[in-house]
Structure 1
């Protein structure tokens, strides 16, 4: 009885925390669009976008380091081996993934980018199948991922989704970004078993953010003048990143990868709906409800515990 009650509570916490992470990441869609408008960053100005992202993630890492200090944690990394692991994680999960995503987004429609970015969940589930013996791919998991992916397609559906023209620099780079994030997340789960998740996340965001800033500057990126509104917006983006990445890393540390990563299907749903709300677009469309139902059904199929006989 106690065991069942414990599992139930842990599953509830997973649902609440994972949904909160995806809600925060989804809110970054309208926030980033607003930031680009305030700082006069064109949609195809990749160097400026990388620079903006670099500020965001470096600031997120600094916020986590300050939080760790205030709560009495040591922010020191214990060994050179751990520094190497954190650096690899930061450069892949934050820097490389975003570089591929930004370049891909500049050569593909936003609709295609959102749909193809959701393939990261498939990559996570497949990689976990081969790496972790307790996270095998089952028919139920496969069906759940498929249903969730269909939900992402529904929420992004318009005429451009029917355009089957693809290119390596566009759609190909979006898929590479999704695979990079999936592989880096699994790598992060592995190294989190031997270090504090908060400290690991803080340093990887700082390292990845700094690398993005250097790339942005070295390729000619520049931003408009910050005022109090754009500064507050950047602080919000940094805070949501620090909170979401730290919480997500903790969920991955203590739960199977497939059970956590399926919640990523909620990100584009929240992103589209929140963009519609905050950017003044209509959300009274049936496709949003259908998409949410499909994504939630997919999550249920993947996270449903096997029936005890």
Structure 2
């Protein structure tokens, strides 16, 4: 195994890099909300939201491909078949996922969106059972999924606890985004075995971003108000995407799915704290505290591995 591969399988390295990815993704919740405000994007202006997302991911993909080219990675040494596979990955992992994600974020608070997005980890654990020989479901994993799913649903109860506050446009769209990301990530893990991870991430983000731009413009979207603050925020969102997705792709390439994706439960923790800090949202409610406690319990249960071993398909 190459040295680079052995480094990315070291538990401390996995912990640090996965935590960094989750911190960056967690910061995207309040950043996107603030972006809507700075660019004066109305809640029901979905086409402009797609343009906003398209600029973000097209920029992120361009940054990674330029970096890969400067690093003398095989940016253009790809077959038509591989290009088609990367296009499929980009249209799902970036375009389709973020169509659902941006719509959901417009109709749900940053705190609720960040916690609902945690369902993606459970989807990954369940899908891995049917794909990888040593990622089978166990009692702890099943119990962890149940506890975690209950946790992400608790946050949707109103303070009285008797009525259920859930909308397909808001929370439903965020859950669909999480499901699409889980399926696409497993496909991307397989594709990363034959394509450099940075090159793969650059293409999928770039292609996905261009697709979002085309769809947004075709539906009448437009992005105005490029002040220095708004532009800087857009650049930040692009930068966090390029860093987080490339690192995550590398970690998935060299490690078992459950070992990496379980760290995604840290995203709602970071997202909740950062949303409360930057969006002035209410955090000190019993339902939010209980939901985060249950999500953390789900992490602990799912990660109680008896015999990890190398991953086999």
TM range (shorter): 0.7 to 0.9
Specify the alignment match of 1:93 in structure 2.
93
Distance 2:107 2:42 in 1: 14
Let me know the Cα RMSD of the aligned residues.
2.9
Q: Verify the 8 A CA contact 2:43 2:107 in the aligned structure 1.
A: no
1:221 is aligned to 221
Worse-matched range after superposition: 238-247 or 265-274 = 265-274
Alpha-carbon distance, 1:28 to partner: 0.6
The answer to whether the aligner puts 1:46 opposite 2:83 as a matched pair is: no
Q: Which residue of 2 aligns with 1:80?
A: 80
Partner in structure 1 of residue 278 of structure 2: 278
- Structure 2 CA distance for partners of 1:268 and 1:183, relative to 1, 3 Å: same
* Whole-angstrom distance in 1 between the partners of 2:292 and 2:173: 27
1:29 is the counterpart of 2:35: no
What is the 5 A alignment of 1:62-211?
Answer: 62-105=62-105, 113-153=113-153, 158-159=158-159, 163-164=163-164, 172-211=172-211
Gaps of 5+ in 2: 1-5, 309-313
Structure 1 residue 118: deviation in Å?
2.7
CA shift, 1:71, in A, is 2.2
Name whichever of 139-148 and 157-166 sits farther off: 157-166
Range with bigger deviation, 173-182 or 183-192: 173-182
Q: CA deviation at 1:156?
A: 6.4
Q: How far 1:188 moved relative to its partner?
A: 0.3
2: CA distance between counterparts of 1:175 and 1:154?
14
Given that residues 155 and 269 in structure 1 are in contact (C-alpha distance below 8 angstroms), is that contact kept between their aligned partners in structure 2? no
Relative distance call for 1:213 and 1:32 in structure 2 (3 A) is: same
Cα distance change on mapping 1:304 and 1:83 into 2, 3 Å: same
Distance in 2, matches of 1:165 and 1:294, equals 19
Q: Is the 8 A contact 1:101 1:177 kept in 2?
A: yes
**Counterpart of 1:267?**
267
Is this contact kept in 2: 1:60–1:239, CA < 8 A? yes
Q: CA deviation at 1:173?
A: 4.0
Quickly say closer, same or farther: Cα 1:97–1:142, change in 2 above 3 A: same
SS in 2 for 1:226: coil
CA-to-aligned-CA distance 1:16-70 (integer Å, 9 cap, x gap): 2211111100001111111111100112211111110000000000111122123
1:289 and 1:214 mapped to 2: Cα distance?
41
- 223-232 vs 206-215, which deviates more? 223-232
Relative to structure 1, is the Cα distance of residues 158 and 273 closer, same or farther in structure 2, using a 3 angstrom cutoff?
Answer: farther
The answer to which of 175-184 and 47-56 deviates more is 175-184
For residues 195 and 286 of structure 1, the distance between their equivalents in structure 2, rounded to whole angstroms, comes to: 46
TM-score in terms of structure 2 length: 0.85
In structure 2, the residue corresponding to 1:224 is in which secondary structure?
coil
Residue 311 of structure 2 corresponds to none
Q: Would you tell me which structure has more helix in proportion to its own residues?
A: 1
Contact 1:277 1:283 in 2 (8 A): no
Aligned partners of 1:177 and 1:210: how far apart in 2?
18
Structure 2: distance between partners of 1:230 and 1:105: 18
1:168 offset after TM fit, Å?
Answer: 5.5
Work out the CA distance in 2 between the residues paired with 1:167 and 1:298: 24
Task: Give the length in aligned residue pairs.
Answer: 302
Mark the runs of 5 or more structure 1 residues left unpaired by the alignment. 1-5
